[in-house]
Amino acid sequence: MTIARFSPAAELVSYAGAAPLLLCLIGVGMLPGYALRELAQRIALSYGAVLLAFTGAVHWGLALAGQMSWTRVRIAGAVLPALVAMAALLVGGQRGLALLVVGFGLFWVYEHRNAAPELPPAYLSARRNVSAAVCTLLALTMVLSNTVGLR
C-alpha cells in the first residue's frame, strides 16, 4: 500500500474538512446572543466528535480490508477515538472541546508511533496537517468560548 501522493481532489477534501470548525470558531466569537454562540460551540463539538470517530474508522476499514494487522493495539486504535468522541459529547462545552483536542493529539501519536509502518507516507503527512488544524481550531473555540461566557 504505497501512495506517493494523494490526488489533488482527495487532498482538497481532506483539508476542507476543517472548514466547518473555522466557521464555528467565527460563530462563537461573532454571532449575536448567547444562544447562537452556544449553538456554534455545540456544532463544533459535534463535528469534532464525528471527525475523531472517523479517524478510528479509517483504521477499522483498513484492518477489515486486510491492509492493516489485527492486533490488540490496532483494534484499540480503531475503537477508542469513537469512545473519546462520545465522552466529549457527554461532557459538552469547553471540557468536551478539550477532550477532543486530547483525543486527536493522542491518536496522532498512536498513528505516527505505532501504525506508521502500515500506512502510506502521504496519508501520514496529510493526517499530521489536518490533525494540527483541527486541534488548533478546537482549542481556539474552547478559549474563545471562555472569553464570551460559554461553559
pLDDT (tens digit, 9 = 90+) per residue, 7-26?
Answer: 888 888 888 999 999 999 99
Q: Is residue 66 assigned to a domain?
A: yes
* The residue type at 5: R
Q: Which domain holds residue 66?
A: 19-27+35-147
pTM as predicted: 0.91
Q: How many domains, in total, are found in the chain?
A: 1
Q: Is residue 12 assigned to a domain?
A: no
Is 81:107 a contact under the CB 8 Å cutoff?
Answer: yes
* Rounded CA Rg of the chain: 16
- Read off the pLDDT band of 144 (50, 70, 90): very high
Q: Is residue 137 assigned to a domain?
A: yes
Interval 33-70: pLDDT, tens: 999 999 999 999 999 999 999 999 998 998 888 888 88
Q: Is residue 55 assigned to a domain?
A: yes
Q: Is residue 3 assigned to a domain?
A: no
- Read off the pLDDT band of 119 (50, 70, 90): confident
Q: Is residue 44 assigned to a domain?
A: yes
Residue 56 to residue 74: CA distance in whole angstroms: 9
Q: Is residue 95 assigned to a domain?
A: yes
Q: Is residue 5 assigned to a domain?
A: no
Query: Percent of the chain having pLDDT more than 70?
Result: 97
Q: How far is CA 47 from CA 5, 18, 56, 100, in A?
A: 27, 9, 15, 10
